[in-house]
Amino acid sequence: MALPGTVSAPHFDRTAFKVKRTFATLAADGMSANIKFTPDEQEFKCQLAPEIFEAIDNGWGRQGWTTMHLARATGEDIAAALEMAHAHAVPSKPKKV
């Protein structure tokens, strides 16, 4: 919620965090979060820290949605992942003509 413009809303059995679009969801038990990366970011995160990050095994995962296991992650891991995903959810500024 500390990231600019972020609001939370119910999302099925999870809590969604979004700006213009959803960039993360938190499981009801607080044990995992699903984070929206680009596919390249997802591949990097999963290779860098496979004990923390796991691609979701479906069409959502192929779009970059990644499960982050929060108990295995440091505060720095969580903050970096959320900042990365948040950057994609912020509306782009219109170009001035």
**For the segment 21-56, what is each residue's pLDDT rounded down to a tens digit?**
999 999 999 999 999 999 999 999 999 999 999 999
Weakest mean pLDDT among 14-28, 29-43, 55-69, 81-95: 81-95
Q: Which residues contact 33 (CB under 8 A, 6 or more apart)?
A: 24, 25, 26, 27, 67, 68, 70, 78
- On average, the pLDDT of the chain sits at 92
Q: Rounded to an integer, what distance in angstroms lies between the CA atom of residue 18 and that of residue 82?
A: 11
Supply the pLDDT for residue 64: 97
| Of 6 and 76, more confident | 76
Predicted TM-score (pTM) of the model is: 0.86
